[in-house]
Amino acid sequence: MFNFKLICKDGEARAGEMATAHGTVLTPTFIPVGTQATVKTISPMELRKIGAQIVLSNTYHLALRPGAAVIKAAGGLHQFMGWDGATLTDSGGYQLMSLAPLCKISEKGVGFQSHFDGRRYFFTPENVIELQGEIGADLIMPLDECCSYPCEHDQAKRAMELTCRWAERSKKAHHSNAQALFGIIQGGLYPELRVECIKNLTSLGFDGYALGGISVGEAKILTYELLNECLSLLPEDKPRYVMGMGTPLDLLEGVKRGADMFDCILPTRYGRNGTAWTSSGKVIVRNAENVSLFIPLDESCECYTCRHFTRAYLRHLFSVNEILGMSLVTYHNLFFYMSLMAGMREAIVKGKFQEFYNEFLIKNKEVENV
């Protein structure tokens, strides 16, 4: 049911095809985040229009509300949220890290208290696989321990080794041919721990491999160095997923180093806050300079927002707290991300990725802030 095919390479940059039960995903790809089975302010129909191929939801949140059994009764995640493309569910390891005061980690699993109603739950590698089976995503992730930043070497080593043991248990518990199971590589910012984790996980033979614990507060240069250390060690015939990393520059640098998949809340969160990414850098919609600026967010963009609305109108919507403003800027941001990924893929296929990379750096003012 699941298959990944590497089409071509240009340097380390890769173009591929990932076949799932709900369609083929062309890589490199960006995955919009729909934590609660919805991408905030954007409908599934709009996601399709902007070129989204796959959406991410979160096992931790869905298991608490509405519950995996409810989603299963609805016919699975796709039917429940009205999305006919591919889906991916994260295990919730990162969310458990962020809720550390409410959880206790042991060899068996993670006991935690719900952040919204105080109920007690216990996640094990096995029941997280079972929950994702009920939810019905196409790509699923095993339970892992994600370290915060900064993290001492001994703590990162313990978390990495526990992640590997949990990964082996998850692999044994996974029996569905309809769902691809990825291994998650941990180890903090310590290359030797990451390498050890990669050796352990690749020996187990997962359908794909993800780098977890990325973009948790470290400097960008450290993130990129870690990608240099890790990505080249992963199997060429498996998809490579960098979790939670997602400024446009991040995507460019990740693809340059051999990554295939990315997810991040930034384009939707920034859209709701009135910040747009454009071909020449960021635009802060709320800024006073836009009050009577009757031009689109990005004059080179063909999205619905840029073809129909001006910066002045968008600023007005945000100044009076109208939801439409959030929706329109989020739509534009996701369109920009999808266009960026499509442009990178086309450049890789044509053997012109370095030209694409150089042109982006020249045009995009975001690099001034890195």
For residue 213, say whether it is annotated as part of any ligand binding site: yes
Catalytic residue among 207, 260, 263, 298: 263
303 is in an annotated binding site: yes
Q: Which of 10, 90, 138, 250 is catalytic?
A: 90
User: Which two tokens mark 235?
Assistant: 């199997």
Q: 134 with 71: CB under 8 angstroms?
A: yes
Is 306 among the annotated ligand-binding positions?
Answer: yes
Whether 154 is catalytic is no
The CA–CA distances, whole Å, from 11 to 15, 28, 170, 250 equal 11, 14, 34, 17
Residue 179 is assigned to a ligand binding site = no
Query: Cα–Cα–Cα angle for 346, 351, 3, nearest 5°?
Result: 60
Q: 263 catalytic, yes or no?
A: yes
C-beta separation of 279 from 300 below 8 A: yes
| CA atoms of 82 and 226, how far apart (whole Å) | 37
Rounded to the nearest 5 degrees, what angle is found at the Cα of 216, between the Cα atoms of 329 and 266?
A: 5
91 is in an annotated binding site: yes
Buried-exposed string 134-154: b where 16+ CB fall within 10 A, e elsewhere: bbbbbbbbbbbbbbeeebeee
d(C-alpha 27, C-alpha 17), whole Å: 6
Q: Is 93 annotated as a binding residue?
A: yes
Provide φ and ψ at 20, rounded to 5°.
-130, 175
Q: Check whether 103 is labelled as a binding-site residue.
A: no
Asked whether residue 144 is marked as a ligand-binding residue, the answer is: yes
> Is residue 94 a known part of a binding site?
yes
Q: Which residues are annotated as a binding site for Zn(2+)?
A: 301, 303, 306, 332
Residues noted as catalytic:
90, 263
Give the residue numbers of the binding site: 90-94, 144, 186, 213, 301, 303, 306, 332
Binding site feature residues for substrate:
90-94, 144, 186, 213
